[in-house]
Amino acid sequence: MWQRCCYLSNKKILLFSLIRRAIEKNVHPNQVAFPGGEIDKYDKNSWDASLREMNEEIGV
C-alpha cells in the first residue's frame, strides 16, 4: 500500500510517496516509510537502483 503526499510552503509544492510496510515482514512491520532499498550488484549505478526500487515498491 502506498500514499502520495504533498507539502506546501510559500507557493512551492513537494510531492512524494510513502509506503506502509507489510505486517508479515520481519523488518519494521506495518510502519510508514519512504520507498527504496539498497543498490544491488546488478544495478549499474544509483539511478538504476532507484528506478528498480520504485518499480518494486510502488509499481511505477
Predicted TM-score (pTM) of the model is 0.53
> In which region does residue 10 sit, left (phi positive, over 0), alpha (psi from -120 to 50) or beta (all else)?
left
In this predicted structure, what is the pLDDT of residue 3?
61
In this predicted structure, what is the pLDDT of residue 28?
79
In this predicted structure, what is the pLDDT of residue 24?
80
43: cell is 544495478
Cβ neighbours of residue 20 closer than 8 Å, sequence gap 6 or more = 1, 2, 3, 30, 31, 32, 33
Antiparallel, parallel or unpaired: β 2-9 and 12-20: antiparallel
In the chain, where the domains are located: 2-58
Count of CB atoms within 10 A of residue 57's CB? 16
Per-10-residue mean pLDDT of the chain, 60 residues long, equals: 66 77 79 81 90 79
In this predicted structure, what is the pLDDT of residue 6?
67
| Residue reference for cell 515498491 | 57
